[in-house]
């Protein structure tokens, strides 16, 4: 990879790290403030309901793009960004009015000046908040079910049905924190990027180099297109779905909150234990594999690698921490 590509990968890794560390820091406070969203976090059907909600939201967004309701989607996502930002600010700032003001500022910034760094900052806040909330609401078995099913769904939606590619084509031009924008040069401006002129070069929601104006590039949605794409490492930006950062972090947060393993005693992250730490390590191993694939210039589903790495790391950490495998899998209540 070129130096520009290394810069982009490093920035993406930093955002992932902020999301994961942020979620770990928020887990105890979220629980103390009563933000657990389900009555029984060990019930695996919670995962099925959430998966159904994801599929429903995907269908809604695709329909909205088909009927030119893009602005409705943008307003919903901006509003959601403000709400999740409020959860984060309210957890760390004792003055409620300040927390409300800051979360409103996040939403306003997304509306009036959605430059790449505004979107990435809002995405990091949303990601940490969402992963922290899901982490205390999904026990170990539900988290494992959630990540496994979503990894399979992600692969099918990118490689088989390809509807995730259609979704990505719709959201790219909205400039909302559904995707993280990773520039490879400081001169890049998301506001100046014309996505509509290069629909063939827009990748999937998960991970794909950005369009750069050359109409003779291979279509990332067509595996049979053997035309020579430009080197992705030379492009000005690539994009990673926010869900790629959030979903594996749910495993990290769930492991920190629900695992029997003892805390590692890190003062600023009291919930951190060995299963959660190795889930983080596994996520970044998956991230490295994903970035290698993305730099080849094709659209790739991120969750199979990222969720797989998080789950594998969590299970290894559980074994090393002396947690019985039955307990690590969340099966003890059923045996």
The residues near 53 (Cβ < 8 Å, ≥ 6 apart) are none
Check residue 205 and report its DSSP letter.
Answer: S
What the block records as the tokens of 204 is 């999937």
228, part of any domain:
no
Predicted structure pTM score: 0.86
Per the domain annotation, does 58 fall within a domain?
yes
Which is nearest to 237 in space by CA: 4, 19, 1, 74? 4
State the pLDDT at residue 322.
Answer: 95
C-beta of residue 141 within 8 angstroms of C-beta of residue 318: no
Phi, psi (rounded to 5 degrees) for 67:
-105, 25
Nearest to 240 by CA among 305, 301, 289, 283: 301
What pLDDT is attached to residue 217?
A: 29
Return the pLDDT at 220: 33
Closest residue by Cα to residue 307 from 181, 146, 66 = 146
Full residue range of the structural domain in which residue 312 is found: 3-192+240-329
Q: Structural domain tally of the chain?
A: 1
CA–CA distance, 262 with 274 (Å, rounded to integer): 8
213 contacts: CB under 8 Å, gap ≥ 6: 194, 197, 198
> Residue 170: inside a domain, yes or no?
yes
Please write the tens of the pLDDT for every residue from 240-262. 889 999 999 999 999 999 999 99
Tens-place pLDDT, residues 100-112 = 999 999 999 999 9
* Long-range contacts (CB closer than 8 Å, 24 or more residues apart) made by 150-154: 150/51, 150/54, 150/247, 150/303, 150/307, 151/301, 151/303, 151/304, 151/307, 151/308, 152/304, 153/51, 153/54, 153/55, 154/206, 154/301, 154/302, 154/303, 154/304
pLDDT value, residue 107: 96
| Reduced 3-state DSSP string for 175-192 | CCCCEEEEECCCCCCHHH
Question: Helix, strand or coil for residue 22?
Answer: helix
224 found inside a domain:
no
Assess if residue 214 is contained within a domain: no
Note the pLDDT tens digit of each residue in 113-136: 999 999 999 999 999 999 999 999
The answer to whether residue 7 sits within a structural domain is yes
pLDDT at 308: 97
* Residue 230 resides in a domain: no
CA 79 to each of CA 50, 82, 297: distance values in angstroms, whole numbers, following the listed order = 20, 5, 33
Q: What is the pLDDT of residue 255?
A: 97
Of 170, 163, 180, the residue nearest 221 (C-alpha): 163
What was the pLDDT predicted at 231?
59
- Judge whether 100 lies within some domain: yes
DSSP single-letter state for residue 228: -
**Positions of the chain with pLDDT under 50:** 196-229
CA-wise closest residue to 252 among 324, 309, 332: 309
């Amino acid at each position: 990879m070129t130096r520009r590509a290394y810069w982009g990968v490093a920035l993406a890794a930093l955002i992932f790290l902020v999301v994961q560390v942020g979620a770990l820091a928020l887990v105890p406070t979220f629980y103390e403030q009563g933000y657990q969203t389900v009555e029984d976090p060990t019930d695996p059907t919670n995962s099925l309901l959430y998966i159904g909600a994801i599929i429903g939201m995907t269908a809604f967004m695709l329909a909205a793009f088909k009927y030119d309701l893009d602005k409705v989607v943008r307003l919903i996502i901006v509003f959601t960004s403000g709400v999740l930002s409020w959860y984060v600010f309210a957890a760390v700032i004792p003055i409620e009015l300040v927390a409300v003001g800051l979360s409103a500022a996040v939403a306003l910034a997304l509306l009036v000046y959605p430059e790449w760094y505004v979107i990435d900052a809002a995405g990091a806040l949303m990601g940490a908040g969402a992963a922290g909330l899901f982490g205390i609401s999904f026990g170990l078995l539900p988290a494992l079910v959630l990540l496994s099913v979503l990894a399979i769904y992600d692969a099918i939606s990118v490689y088989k049905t390809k509807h995730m590619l259609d979704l990505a084509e719709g959201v790219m031009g909205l400039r909302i924190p559904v995707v993280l924008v990773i520039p490879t040069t400081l001169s890049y401006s998301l506001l100046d990027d014309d996505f509509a002129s290069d629909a063939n070069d827009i990748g999937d929601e998960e991970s794909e180099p950005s369009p750069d104006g050359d109409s003779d590039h291979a279509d990332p949605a067509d595996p049979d297109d053997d035309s020579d794409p430009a080197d992705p490492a030379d492009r000005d930006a690539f994009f990673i779905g926010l869900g790629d950062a959030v979903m594996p972090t749910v495993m990290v947060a769930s492991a920190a909150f629900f695992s029997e393993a003892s805390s590692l005693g890190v003062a600023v992250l009291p919930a951190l234990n060995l299963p959660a730490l190795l889930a983080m390590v596994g996520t970044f191993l998956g991230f490295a594999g994903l970035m290698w694939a993305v730099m080849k210039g094709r659209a790739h589903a991120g969750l199979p690698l990222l969720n797989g790495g998080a789950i594998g790391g969590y299970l290894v950490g559980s074994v090393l921490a002396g947690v019985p495998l039955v307990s690590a899998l969340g099966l003890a209540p059923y045996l």
